[in-house]
Amino acid sequence: MVEQHYKFNNMEFDEGRNRIRNDELFLDLIRKWEDDFHDRYSPFFANYLFANASTMILANQCLVTEPNEDLGMELIEGEIDLDTNLKIENYSKRLTIYALGSNHDLDEPLYFIRDDSMIDGMVILKYIPDHDEDDIGPDIPVAGEKIKVSLTKR
How far is CA 41 from each of CA 38, 56, 125, rounded to the nearest angstrom?
Answer: 5, 25, 11
Residue 69 lies inside a defined structural domain of this protein: yes
State which residues form the domain around 71.
2-136
Give residue 10's pLDDT: 84
Sign of CA dihedral 62, 67, 71, 75: positive
Residue 130 lies inside a defined structural domain of this protein: yes
Residue 92 lies inside a defined structural domain of this protein: yes
Give residue 72's pLDDT: 93
Question: Block means of pLDDT (10 residues each) for the chain, length 154 residues?
Answer: 94 72 84 96 96 92 85 92 92 91 85 95 94 46 40 39
Give residue 107's pLDDT: 81
Residue 50 lies inside a defined structural domain of this protein: yes
Give residue 65's pLDDT: 80
How far is CA 7 from each of CA 20, 85, 95, 105, 121, rounded to the nearest angstrom?
Answer: 17, 27, 28, 24, 5
Residue 49 lies inside a defined structural domain of this protein: yes
Give residue 66's pLDDT: 85
What pTM value is reported for the model? 0.79
Residue 152 lies inside a defined structural domain of this protein: no
Residue 33 lies inside a defined structural domain of this protein: yes
How do strand 122-127 and strand 48-51 relate by DSSP bridges? Answer: antiparallel
- If one counts the domains in the chain, the total is 1
Give residue 132's pLDDT: 53
Q: Report yes or no: 63 and 71 within 8 Å, Cβ to Cβ.
A: yes
Residue 141 lies inside a defined structural domain of this protein: no
